[in-house]
Structure 1
């Protein structure tokens, strides 16, 4: 390789490496460091695009019940295990037909583009409510789930779907309190 070609190629190689590193850092910034799921910002952008392209999409909200008590009783390491298990179970339920995210704390969300190709919500609830093992203890886990079919909305907006899913989730949480 001539000196002239090398002097042109070297800066280009540097920019390619720099661009790759920036892309990786942006992707990491859009991921929750504990669970590896998308964060709110990364998920919202994708979810809005998916709603526009998939009129039958389903938006979910998931909240771990009594998470503070779990942390206080078993410790924060057990709380992290609960969050990881919830993230893994939700992501597995979504499969390739959806995207899951951790909104923060013990709140998760997902969008399913083709609800007919994932197990039903009762299956998700059973999975999310399976006990976990942490530090030699079997710890009960409970989650409330709310869902909104985008097709049921007068206008297909993510904000409206999240609001409806939130209301359904709190109704589910109330059902758990009345029927333990």
Structure 2
């Protein structure tokens, strides 16, 4: 029951509440943290073109890739819809950027086979960063990452954008 309450039933990733609980645990430490929101570009067109089962398949595949690249470095969760959240711990901005770019490139390069269709996907990522996570309000950092995500979307998608002044 506890696991069901903590995880997203479709992807098996942490859900929003469990993600914020993990962030609160991280906020009791003095660590560098990068907080990112990842959004699948043009996700609605996947559902409209191939159906909701294909959309669910895409979400699971994105979750698997994201977890395989980012999980050893921090926490990965599905916030809802086509949005995921990632916190990387003890990474410099340069190291975090390399990880987020590796994730973006892996998804951009993947061909998702769903029934007889090949589906190409891209992601946009917004990132906020702090040198010291002690007592950080991660909800506020998620909001900053969300603003950076909107910047990534507005300048063309399929890219990683950082909060102003950080990279």
Report the CA distance shift for 1:54/1:111 in structure 2 as closer, same or farther (over 3 A).
farther
Gaps in structure 1 of 5+ consecutive residues = 1-24
Report the CA distance shift for 1:98/1:176 in structure 2 as closer, same or farther (over 3 A).
same
Q: Which has the higher strand share?
A: 2
1:48 partner SS? helix
> Which gives a bigger RCO, structure 1 or 2 (Cα 8 Å, sep 6+)?
2
Q: How many residues align?
A: 154
Query: Pairwise mapping of residues 101-120 of structure 1 onto structure 2 (< 5 A)?
Result: 101-116=77-92, 119-120=98-99
Report the CA distance shift for 1:96/1:54 in structure 2 as closer, same or farther (over 3 A).
farther
Is 1:73 paired with 2:64? Answer: no
Gaps in structure 2 of 5+ consecutive residues = 160-167
Structure 1 residues 39-60: Cα deviation after superposition (integer angstroms, max 9, x where no partner): 0011101112113314301111
In the alignment, the residues of structure 2 paired with residue 97 and residue 66 of structure 1 have an alpha-carbon distance, to the nearest angstrom, of 28
Based on CA coordinates, which of the two structures has the bigger radius of gyration? 1
Normalising by structure 2, report the TM-score.
0.83
Tell me which residue corresponds to 2:37. Answer: 61
In the alignment, the residues of structure 2 paired with residue 178 and residue 148 of structure 1 have an alpha-carbon distance, to the nearest angstrom, of 17
Alignment match of 1:164 (pick from 127, 138, 144)? 144
Normalising by structure 1, report the TM-score.
0.77
CA RMSD of superposed structures (Å): 2.3
In the alignment, the residues of structure 2 paired with residue 128 and residue 50 of structure 1 have an alpha-carbon distance, to the nearest angstrom, of 28
